[in-house]
Amino acid sequence: MLAIKGGRILTVTKGIIEEGVILVEGGRIVEVGRDVRIPEGAEVIDASGKVVMPGLVEAHCHIGIVEESVGWAGSDGNEATDPVTPHLRAIDAIKANADERGLKAALETGITSVQILPGSANVIGGTGVVVKTAPKTTVDEMVLRNPSGLKVAFGENPRRVYGQGLKRMPATRMGVAALLREWLVKAQNYMRKKELAKEDPSKMPDKDLKLETLQLVLEGKIPLRAHAHRADDIATAVRIAEKFGISLSWEHATEGHRIGGWLASKGVPAIWGPSLMGRPKWEMRELNFETPKVLHEAGVKFAIMTDAVGSGIRFLPLCAAMAVKHGLPWEAALKAVTITPAEILGVADRVGSIERGKDADLRILSGDPFDPMTEVEMVIVDGEVLVGR
Amino acid sequence: MLAIKGGKILTITQGTIERGTILIEDGKILDVGVDVQIPEGAEVIDATGKVVMPGLVEAQCHLGIVEESIGWAGADSDETTDPATPQMRVIDGIKANADEGGLRAALETGVTTIQVLPGSGNVIAGTAAVLKTAPKTVVDEMVVRNPSGMKITFGDMPRRVYGQTQKKTPSTRMGIAGILREWLVKAQNYMRKKELAKEDPSKMPDKDLKLEALEPVLRGEIPLLAHAHRADDIASVVRVAEEFGVKVVWHHATEGHRVAEWVARKGIPAVHGPAMRRGTWEMREMSFKTAKVLHDAGVKIAITTDATSQAIRLLPLVAALYVKNGLPRDVALRAMTINPAEILGVADRVGSIERGKDADLRILSGDPLDIKSKVEMVLIDGKILYSA
């Protein structure tokens, strides 16, 4: 039994508890409150004067799958040799047990759950995975949810990689949309044949891993994680998704300020970022820190992400701090890096807030989470102190 | 006459004045102090409760020469068709009077003086220029100092652009140093011939703009602006520079923590950044902590965003992160005002609030190193150019 006492607890979902106590056992939060009795024999961590919050949830990144600084040898995020690769899985390329800088930086920053996605070179890039950042012997031991979604990309990246670079489809946005529709239809055909084969097993089609993955999307088991910067690109994504009855999340949401109300009416969640950068591409020209405020006021469910490769993930709290500076309410920023990404990733039963029964993933700070000067003093994942012991 | 009164004035070089007055006339600071009398008829700006500091100086950027978001059509910083282009001049590629986003962002952040450099694809890329960010009809009206230095690059970038991609020299670090030496020797030969021609005009060599551009370097009038991340790369730069007796400014200074005392002994200033990025092998040790190590060893440091590599509007934020990582507050403030002004050779005009200097001012809602502070007003040469 572990007891963390005396800290200012930001539960995220159940308010702030001043000088509260959290009891941890078996890797889970057993109790949280003001007047919680600490059993004898419990190891006590004194968090007086500190802030205790849930470990952060990074909804969209490429740490582990692309090793920082190493160049091509560590770069496994984009199978840019075929624009449609639904059968590829991010989990097969994550360098766990390798002192990889991104995973290390995430843990040290108190980012305890991350969704690692394939890149955006491909129209259909492959499945993503949500992992905890506690180091394990193999990545399979770090998994929280696999697969967590199917990465698809709209806009300039597939057009640049294939149309510009390799002189093949897609060169235009029409081509991008057509490829996605074509493969969803192939998967529907496959599912129909499998259905018919129930009556006549001899009619069973050969197992096709590309179509098996798309079937998960068509059955509503995993959403599309749709990379798009522009409002017109997410409109295309939603047009296709509605036609096929599938769900999606809007990754990047750079032009979210143009389309907030519509997005809210469609019930599409947004994952906003990266933000601490220039505007290197035409489709990113409207990137600005006011977008989260606009999304919030329009009632869009949104998270804040870094889209990080490597140690840049450590700036997640700073991204949220800049959003607060530009008008996003503090509470909304807090949710946007904890419970909301947990919900969008489908792991909110386990992480994203300090509640009885959830995983004991905690982040103990010297002060306000959105003050750049605040230091991370301790990080606990599944009840184990991994940083700051 | 313009008077800015009641603000907390951070002069940078002469301490802080809690509630002071700055008098401005003809674009210059006429007076600054606690009991400065405001002449009748002066326009008065009430800065009570605000912080007034000099406009920031960004010593290393590609604003204006690389138009953000446009792609190749706006990208004019890298004449990567030839690894040695000393005759290129950044001033010929800056899009002034074009609503260019980067220059606008600099102004709105209160970055009033910038050194724009050519890119880092070439071994010898061309000359840089120092400009004010006040919009003008043509870039020539924005110039404070041109040329301000000769950009060179050591390390992986010229090797990738030429060796890897084009199968041309340089493909190795030996190749890079070889090219720099070769051109400095060519320029020395040229200068010698011109000297001899004084006695015999018929011996005058044809004018050669590449060699003309290197002459001010060999005469010590402008420094080599040396892009290098690694300690071994700056060692090579300095090795060549000392062979030719030329000056060096170390840009990026990524591995400055490995060679801080040596850099101090050599009297080389360092422009450190962009500290949020570690994308390549040679940048893998990039850290906010390096600035403190350099400062403690006695190196004159400036901090840079290297915009558009990192957004220019984040300059005050990165300064705060340097402070978080050990750099004293007052040093961080100097590192984006007077230090870069001195490194750029324009400290007679900008970088601090002193009588006689240009009236380039930045008025904030609070402390410059507090992320919550907003820029409320920016003045350049005594004119209000931005008001929130």
Peptide bond into A223 cis (omega under 30): no
Q: How far apart are CA A242 and CA A228, in angstroms?
A: 17
**CA-nearest residue of chain A to B100?**
A285
B317 with A318: Cβ contact below 8 A: yes
Q: Cβ contacts (< 8 Å) between B276 and chain A: which residues? A: 276, 312, 315
The three-point CA angle B45-B46-B52 to 5° equals 85
Tell me which chain B residues have a C-beta less than 8 angstroms from the C-beta of A325. Answer: 371-372
Provide the 3-class DSSP secondary structure of residue A334.
helix
Q: Secondary structure of A235-261 in the HEC alphabet? A: HHHHHHHHHHCCCEEEEECCCHHHHHH
Has residue B237 got a pLDDT over 90? yes
pLDDT of residue B120: 97
Q: Measured between beta carbons, which residues in chain B are less than 8 angstroms from residue A373?
A: 320, 323-324
Chain A residues whose C-beta is within 8 A of a chain B C-beta are 68-71, 101, 276-282, 284-285, 309-312, 315, 318, 321-322, 325, 371-373
What are the tens digits of pLDDT across the range A254-297?
Answer: 999 999 999 999 999 999 999 998 899 999 999 999 999 999 99
pLDDT averaged over every residue in chain B: 97
C-beta atoms of A276 and B320 within 8 A: no
Is residue B234 within 8 A of residue B165, CB to CB? The reply is no
Instruction: Round to whole Å and give the CA distance between B97 and A234.
Output: 34
Containing A180, the helix (H) or strand (E) segment is helix A173-196
pLDDT digits (tens, 9 = 90+) for B99-143: 999 999 999 999 999 999 999 999 999 999 999 999 999 999 999
What is the residue whose two structure tokens read 């240009």?
B358
pLDDT tens digits, A54-99: 999 999 999 999 999 999 999 999 999 999 999 999 999 999 999 9
- Cβ-based contacts under 8 A for chains A and B: 64
Residue B300 CA to chain centroid, in angstroms?
13
Are B69 and A280 inside 8 Å of each other by CB?
yes
Mean pLDDT on A28-39: 97
pLDDT tens digit string along A321-344? 999 999 999 999 999 999 999 999
List pLDDT tens digits, range A370-381: 999 999 999 999
Which residue of chain A has the CA closest to B287?
A311
> CB B283 to CB A69 under 8 A?
yes
Interface test with chain A among B62, B317, B323, B367, by most A beta carbons within 10 Å: B317
Q: Answer for the pair A205, A198: CB distance below 8 angstroms, yes or no.
A: no
pLDDT digits (tens, 9 = 90+) for B323-377: 999 999 999 999 999 999 999 999 999 999 999 999 999 999 999 999 999 999 9
- The answer to whether residue B243 scores a pLDDT higher than 90 is yes
User: Would you state the structure tokens that stand for residue B293, as one six-digit string?
Assistant: 């190590």
CA dihedral in degrees (B137, B140, B141, B142; nearest 10)? 100
Which residue numbers of B have CB closer than 8 Å to A's CBs? Answer: 68-71, 101-102, 276-281, 283-284, 307-311, 314, 317, 320-321, 323-324, 371-372
- Specify whether the CB–CB gap between B23 and B31 falls below 8 A: yes
- Which residue from A68, A276, A282 is facing B314, i.e. has the nearest CB? A276
| pLDDT, tens digit, 9 for 90 and up, residues B66-98 | 998 898 999 999 999 999 999 999 999 999 999
CA-to-CA distance for B260 and B292, rounded, in angstroms?
Answer: 10
Is the confidence at residue A236, as pLDDT, over 90?
Answer: yes
- Classify B258 as helix, strand or coil: helix
Q: What is the DSSP string of A109-176?
A: HTEEEEEE---SSSSEEEEEEEEE-S--SSGGGGEEEEEEEEEEE-SHHHIIIIIIHHS-S-SSHHHH
> A389 falls in which pLDDT band (50, 70, 90)?
confident
pLDDT of B279 reads 87
- Which residue in A278, A371, A373 is closest to B307 by CB distance? A278
pLDDT computed for residue B309 by the predictor: 86
